[in-house]
Amino acid sequence: TAATFSTQSEALERAFPGAQVERIGHVLTEAQLAKAAGLAGAKLPSALVAAYEARRDGQLVGTAYFDAHRVHSQQETLMIVVDPDGRVEDLQVLAFAEPPKYLAPSAWMKQFLGRALDDRLRLKQDVQGITGATLTARATTKAVRRTLAIHAVLRAPPVTGHRSPLTGRPAP
């Protein structure tokens, strides 16, 4: 039986109380897809990305992404909030269609908080497993890596390849 714990709007309100949240649609280029896949360590399911940027008094306070993926044979939907420094600020399960015994405990989910994308952000390295729910642990870890990789690619300054005729340096 599928369990829905929260809607997107409810989750966004909890993550960013009092903030203005704007949904920004992105279509990743082939180069961005390749870069994000390399950072994530896996192919991305789509070039379409929706980022929910939250601002207070005009200042970016965080960006939320929703990641729906298969755990074993059923879907899980996570909201992953990334702070302006590129670290996981919040991680919530919004929907989980697998049997409840495979749902990751909230205490386990907390190990992702404050984490940036690096080589140690992997199951059996800096990420502890879940006894009896290995597929959930693997799917969640991959979703966090995928989200942090997408965020890094979207935040990267564009590469123009043009050089200033005055300085010979790359142009902005």
The pTM (predicted TM-score) of the whole model is 0.86
Look-up of token digits 């109380």: 17
Confidence of residue 162 (pLDDT cuts 50, 70, 90): low
| Average pLDDT in the chain | 88
Confidence of residue 154 (pLDDT cuts 50, 70, 90): very high
Q: Which helix (H) or strand (E) holds 22?
A: strand 20-27
Residue type, 169: R
CA distance 84 to 38: 22
pLDDT of residue 160: 55
Rounded to a whole number, what is the distance in angstroms from the first to the last CA of the chain?
52
CA distance 75 to 73: 7
Q: Give the tens place of pLDDT for each residue, 100-143.
A: 888 988 899 999 999 999 888 888 888 888 877 788 888 999 99
Q: Give the tens place of pLDDT for each residue, 62-112.
A: 999 999 998 988 899 999 999 999 999 999 999 999 988 889 888 999 999
Confidence of residue 158 (pLDDT cuts 50, 70, 90): low
CA distance 93 to 116: 19
Tokens of 37: 């896949």
